[in-house]
Amino acid sequence: MDLAADKAAGPATGPAATLDDLLTPALVLDGRRLRDNARRMRDRAEALGVALRPHMKTAKSADVARVALAGAKGKGVGGVTVATLSEAEYFLARGFTDITYAVCIVPQKLGRVAALMAKGADLKILTDDASVAKAIAGDRRRFRVLIEIDCGEHRTGVAPDSKAMVEIAEILGSGKNVTLAGVLTHAGHSYSCRTPAAMAKIAEDERAAAVAAAERLRRAGFECPTVSVGSTPTARFASNLDGVTEMRPGVYLLGDLFQAGIGTCGVDDIAASVLASVIAHRRGENALLIDAGGLALSKDRATQALPDDQGYGLVCAALTGTPIPGLKVTSVHQEHGHVAADGPLPFDRLPVGAKVRVLPNHVCMTAAAYDRFHVVDGGGRITAVWDRCHGW
C-alpha cells in the first residue's frame, strides 16, 4: 500500500503519515538500509556464482522479498525459502511460485503441500527420515523433495556419508510421482562463531557437506540438481561455494543486535526496529518505562551470549533510529519495557508520551508479533505499509 494518496486525509482518519502520527508499539522498517542489505547479499551471491533464495521466515513479507530479489535474473519474481506452510501460502498468493519449505515435512502436511502445488506452486519439501520418504513415495500426488543434510549443527538432517541418506534417496526414487530435487543443508552452528575466520570455516564445512552429499547421490545414480546451503554468517563469509547451486540467508535483510554482535552487519545496518512510547518515569531509580514489553520486543536474549549483552534491545532516537548512548531495555513484562541507562537518563528529552525506537536482539522473533511494517526512508515520513504473514 502506497500512502502518498492517503496523506491528504491526515492521521485522524487515514493511516499514519509519519512516525509522529503512529500509535505504539509498531514495527518500523528503514527502506534504505533494507535495500543496502539486499544489494550486498545479491552481490555476494553473484560473486560466489550461486542463486540467492532468501529465507523469508524473518521478514514474512512479499514486499521485502521483492526488494531482496530486485534485479535477480531468471523467470518470474525469483525463488524464496519459507519455514511454515502458512508462509508458503502467503507468498504463492502474492505471485511467488518457486518456494522451498525448509523444515522437515510430516506425512499429515502433504495434503496442504499438494493443495499448494495444485494452485501453481513449485514447492520443494524436505525430509531426513526414511519413514516419511516412504509416505511421500507411496502417495499418488506429485512432490518435489530435498534431502536434508547435517553439516555439523546436529539439528535435523542426515550425514552426507550415512547409509540413511542413500536409503532415503532410494525410497524417494521408487515413488512414481516423486522428484528428488537435491540436497539442502543449514549451518545454524555458524551463529556460535565470533570471527569472520570461524564463519568462513563453518561455511566451508557447510559447502563441503552439501557437495559431498550431492556427489555421492549422483554416483549412486540419482540426479541432484539443487545443492542448497545457507545462513547469514556463512553467506557473508564463505570464501567459495564451488559445487553449490543456491544459498538461503534470511536475517541479513533486516539485521539485529545479535548479527551485529557476531559481525555479520553493523548496528547502523539494522533495518527493523520497534517504535515505542515512554509511558512512565521512575526518576528515583534512573529508569523509565515504555509500552514495548515481552510481546512487542520478544523475550529472545540472544545477545546474552555475546560480550555486549544488549538486554532486550538498544533504545534509539525515534526519528533517526540512532542509538541513544547507554540506554537499553533491561527487563520486560508483557506490555512494559524497563529502560535503564549507564549514566543519568535524559528524562527531559524523553517526557512521558515521547517516542523511541528499539533495535531488536533477534529480529526473527521480534518481528513475528506484527502484521505489518511501517516503511521509512531514513526520516520520519512513512512511505509505505507492507503486510506480513503470521501463524501457521
Q: Which stretches of the chain bind a copy of itself, using CB under 8 A?
A: 12, 23-26, 57, 83-85, 103-109, 111-112, 128-129, 131-132, 135, 154-156, 188, 277-282, 285, 289, 291, 294-296, 298-301, 333-336, 338, 351-353, 364-365, 368-371, 390-392
Bridge partners for 127 per DSSP: 147
The CA-CA-CA angle for residues 192, 197, 201, to 5°, reads 75
Count CA within 13 A, CB hemisphere, residue 339.
34
Which one, 246 or 300, has the nearer CB to a copy of itself?
A: 300
- Nearest-angstrom CA–CA distance, 150 and 158: 5
CB of 66 to a copy of itself, least distance (A): 22
Contact 247, 233 (CB under 8 A): no
Which one, 52 or 296, has the nearer CB to a copy of itself?
A: 296
Which one, 218 or 333, has the nearer CB to a copy of itself?
A: 333
Which one, 212 or 369, has the nearer CB to a copy of itself?
A: 369
CB of 109 to a copy of itself, least distance (A): 6
Which one, 77 or 150, has the nearer CB to a copy of itself?
A: 150
Place of cell 486525509: 9
Give the three cell numbers for residue 62.
512479499
CB of 268 to a copy of itself, least distance (A): 25
By the 10 Å C-beta count (0-12 exposed, 13-18 middle, 19+ buried), 111 is classed as exposed
Q: How far apart, in Å, are the Cα atoms of 376 and each of 28, 58, 63, 252?
A: 7, 19, 14, 18
Residue type, 25: P
Give the three cell numbers for residue 13.
482518519
CB of 242 to a copy of itself, least distance (A): 28
By the 10 Å C-beta count (0-12 exposed, 13-18 middle, 19+ buried), 42 is classed as middle
Which one, 35 or 109, has the nearer CB to a copy of itself?
A: 109
Which one, 48 or 289, has the nearer CB to a copy of itself?
A: 289
Q: Is 154 left (phi over 0), alpha (psi -120 to 50) or beta?
A: left
Residue type, 107: P
By the 10 Å C-beta count (0-12 exposed, 13-18 middle, 19+ buried), 80 is classed as buried
3-state secondary structure 336-354: CEEEEECCCCCCCCCCCCC
CB of 326 to a copy of itself, least distance (A): 21
CB of 28 to a copy of itself, least distance (A): 13
Which one, 23 or 47, has the nearer CB to a copy of itself?
A: 23
CB of 157 to a copy of itself, least distance (A): 8
Bridge partners for 341 per DSSP: 327
CB of 334 to a copy of itself, least distance (A): 5
